[in-house]
Structure formats: C-alpha cells, structure tokens
C-alpha cells in the first residue's frame, strides 16, 4: 500500500463523513462500514500485533496522514 498524501487522507475523511481529529468511537455504524470500504480499496492490512479492529487502525492512519503538513 502506498503512503497517503495529506489531501487524499482528507478526501477519505470527507467520504467517511467526519472531520480531522474526530474520535473513532463516536462514529456510527455506517461511517465504520465506509471506513472499511476505503481500507479495502487501498488493500490496507492491520499490523500483526494489532490490538483492535482493522477499521480503527485504518482510521488512525488516515487521521495521522491528514494532520501532516503538505
């Protein structure tokens, strides 16, 4: 999987329907499903030692990339 750019990450967040710095646990089930769809499109795999869902790890990754400077 290629690294996401800041603008691409912000586009993913817009497609999910949330803002930068949103809390994953505050998302509704439709937003979590859209997060998984975006992860599937990018062939995202959670780390082997992941202590949580793939959706949560992908959401955290997108949030980190969206907050970076261009």
Q: Residue 2's pLDDT is what?
A: 77
What secondary structure, in 3-state letters, does the chain show? Answer: CCCCCHHHHHHHHHHHCCCCCCCHHHCCHHHHHHHHHHHHHCCCCCCCCCCCCHHHHHHHHHHHHHHCCC
13, 19 Cβ separation under 8 angstroms? yes
Nearest partner of 43 among 3, 1, 4, 5, judged by Cα = 1
Q: Residue 1's pLDDT is what?
A: 72
Q: Residue 34's pLDDT is what?
A: 97
Taking only the tens place, the pLDDT of each residue in 3-60 is 899 999 999 999 999 999 999 999 999 999 999 999 999 999 999 999 999 999 999 9
Q: Residue 68's pLDDT is what?
A: 84
């Amino acid at each position: 999987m290629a690294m996401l750019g800041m603008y691409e990450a912000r586009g993913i967040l817009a497609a999910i329907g949330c803002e930068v710095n949103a809390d994953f646990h505050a998302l509704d089930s439709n937003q979590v499903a859209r997060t998984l769809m975006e992860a599937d499109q990018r062939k995202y795999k959670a780390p082997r030692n992941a202590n949580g869902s793939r959706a949560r790890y992908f959401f955290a990754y997108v949030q980190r990339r969206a907050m970076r400077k261009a």
